[in-house]
Amino acid sequence: MAEVVLSHVMKSYGSLYAVNDVSFTVEHGEFVALVGPSGCGKTTTLNLIAGLIPMSGGDIAIGDRIVNDLDPKDRDIAMVFQNYALYPNKTVYKNLAFPLQMRKLPAAEIDLKVRKAAEVLDMVHLLERKPRELSGGQQQRVALGRALVRDPAVFLMDEPLSNLDAKLRVQMRSELKRFHHNLNATVVYVTHDQLEAVTMADKMAVMNGGVLQQYDSPANVFANPVNTFVASFIGSPAMSLIPLEAAGNALISPEGWELPLSAMNARKAAASTTNKVILGARHSTLTLHKAPSPGSVPGKVYTVEPTGDVTFAQIFINGALVNISLDPTVALAPDEHVWVEFDQERLHLFDAETTMALAAS
């Protein structure tokens, strides 16, 4: 196992920068998720680490070697793709053994590795079956097993769960987590599903437009998003963002109301480049009132979505749709007038010009 270091990695296709000056370090044994919307450069970044495509600039190190000019087969990596093509006519055992036979390992050593991988992935009882006799999740485990027997320094995975149905995906998510835990493997894992990233990864690299936005633990990314993109991409339902104007110790709305700010938040708002700021709040930090109340602002109910344990409502506030979670016993109707209270300790303020989180100066 080994660390992976990306330094100022670039990949351009003509005038398009698919990966633009990306730097981060995956520590030995860490599970890192590359996450971001479609086309943001996740697969390209993974393929650059794997050596499947040439870089336009920068350096990649795996372990203590710069691998820029090494072939994929010499990089000591194993890839698991979204489409895991298993050999349909070979048993699970032979599917696992095949890459090792290709490398001309002794039969006894192959047998040992295959049985160890089957144990780690809990599929000893499946070894004599053919792929068509397996469920989707079991086939996925065979694909993982094939990477595992190679005993690589680093596992690279590109959306390996995206072909599975929702239930299986959740199950495989925890199995992958166990797999990582048991092996203490270094894993770089691509997903566009922020929930998958948040639940599985030690760290996440949030990308947008080829640029790395934030690299940190899921908890820190969630608590302190660096800009409005990260704020709205991580978390479900998304953080609500309301454009307002800063004026002294308050935020004011063209609708005529104002929200008084704590001293700390007033200092943050004062640090914005213009007086335009964006107020951010997660659904769970908001309190709903049916009458005006201190620290609250007026809104109008748009939709109400009961989910059983919790009810989500969307409220129009100053032209923005704001998500709020409510106790399911709260009765609420579309178009009802309500007041939403913000928690001064847990609201976020962003600079509307730069989209960056504001810090108190």
Classify residue 288 by its DSSP letter: E
Task: Examine residue 191 and tell whether it contacts Mg ion (CB under 5 A).
Answer: no
State the residue for tokens 């895991």: 84
What is the nearest approach in angstroms of ligand ATP to the Cβ of residue 192? 4
**What DSSP string describes 239-279?**
PEEEEEEEETTEEE-TTS-EEE--HHHHHHHHTSSSSEEEE
Binder of residue 51, out of Mg ion, ligand ATP, none (CB less than 5 to 8 A by kind): none
Considering beta carbons, is residue 190 or 242 the nearer one to ligand ATP? 190
Asked if the bond preceding 237 is cis, omega within 30° of 0, the reply is yes
User: Which range of residues in 32-40, 72-80, 91-99, 302-310 is near ligand ATP by CB under 6 A?
Assistant: 32-40
Task: Examine residue 192 and tell whether it contacts ligand ATP (CB under 6 A).
Answer: yes
Letter for the amino acid at 337?
A: H
Considering beta carbons, is residue 39 or 237 the nearer one to ligand ATP? 39
Classify residue 227 by its DSSP letter: B
What is the nearest approach in angstroms of Mg ion to the Cβ of residue 43? 3
Binder of residue 209, out of ligand ATP, Mg ion, none (CB less than 5 to 8 A by kind): none
Among 24, 33, 41, 110, binds ligand ATP (CB under 6 A): 41
User: Which range of residues in 33-41, 85-93, 136-144, 266-274 is near ligand ATP by CB under 6 A?
Assistant: 33-41
Rounded Cα–Cα distance for residues 346 and 286 (Å)? 9
Site string for Mg ion, 19-48 (x = CB under 5 A): ------------------------x-----
Task: Examine residue 90 and tell whether it contacts ligand ATP (CB under 6 A).
Answer: no
Residues 6+ apart with CB under 8 A from 108: none
Considering beta carbons, is residue 36 or 235 the nearer one to ligand ATP? 36
User: Which range of residues in 41-49, 64-72, 219-227, 237-245 is near ligand ATP by CB under 6 A?
Assistant: 41-49
**What DSSP string describes 289-316?**
ESS--TTEEEEEEEEEEE-SS-EEEEEE
Look up residue 69 and give its two tokens.
């000019």
Binder of residue 38, out of Mg ion, ligand ATP, none (CB less than 5 to 8 A by kind): ligand ATP
Q: How far is CA 213 from the centre of its chain?
A: 12
Rounded Cα–Cα distance for residues 21 and 45 (Å)? 11
Among 39, 57, 137, 243, binds ligand ATP (CB under 6 A): 39
- Binding footprint of Mg ion, residue count (CB under 5 A): 1
Site string for Mg ion, 243-262 (x = CB under 5 A): --------------------
Rounded Cα–Cα distance for residues 226 and 350 (Å)? 9
Q: How many C-beta neighbours within 10 Å does residue 13 have?
A: 10
Task: Examine residue 194 and tell whether it contacts Mg ion (CB under 5 A).
Answer: no
Strands 203-208 and 31-35: parallel
Burial label for 87, CB within 10 Å (0-12, 13-18, 19+), is middle
Rounded Cα–Cα distance for residues 94 and 102 (Å)? 12
Query: Using CA of residue 179, residue 180, residue 183, residue 186, what is the dihedral sign?
Result: positive
Considering beta carbons, is residue 43 or 314 the nearer one to ligand ATP? 43
Binder of residue 44, out of Mg ion, ligand ATP, none (CB less than 5 to 8 A by kind): ligand ATP
Among 26, 31, 35, 43, binds ligand ATP (CB under 6 A): 43
Considering beta carbons, is residue 2 or 33 the nearer one to ligand ATP? 33
Considering beta carbons, is residue 18 or 326 the nearer one to ligand ATP? 18
- Binding footprint of ligand ATP, residue count (CB under 6 A): 12
Binding residues for ligand ATP, rule: CB under 6 A, are: 13, 16, 18, 36, 38-44, 192
Binding residues for Mg ion, rule: CB under 5 A, are: 43
